[in-house]
Amino acid sequence: MENITIDDFGKLDIRIGTITSAEAVEGADKLVRLSVDIGEEKERTIVSGIKKHFPDTSALVGRQVPVLANLAPRRIRGVESEGMILYAVGDDFLTTVEPSEKNIPDGTRLQ
């Protein structure tokens, strides 16, 4: 693992967001299109390769998750993804990382 400096870490804009909708991307085996409220005027669309771990995408709706908000947008299967949700990933699992206290205001920054 490569070390980063505190200045590198300071470049990351990680915020709490609430998933407001989730649906499989048509024609894609792994992709889910998420709408996430991170406290901005408009919700973000985020495409994530998590369908295998969340076959019932409706189970994601309402979860509060950390979002890397300043990741450059990227077009994935014709959908522009505007950030990245951070997950805990192991050899045989992938799970959302949710705050222990519910109802943290969307857009709250993680430090």
Q: The domain containing residue 37 runs over which residues?
A: 6-96
84 with 76: CB under 8 angstroms? no
Report percent pLDDT > 70 for the chain.
Answer: 100
- pLDDT, tens digit, for every residue of 82-107? 999 999 999 888 888 888 877 899 99
Total domains in the chain come to: 1
- pLDDT, tens digit, for every residue of 30-39? 999 999 999 9
Q: Average pLDDT in the 60-71 region?
A: 96
In a domain, 1, yes or no: no
- Residue-level pLDDT at 6: 95
In a domain, 34, yes or no: yes
Give the pTM. Answer: 0.91
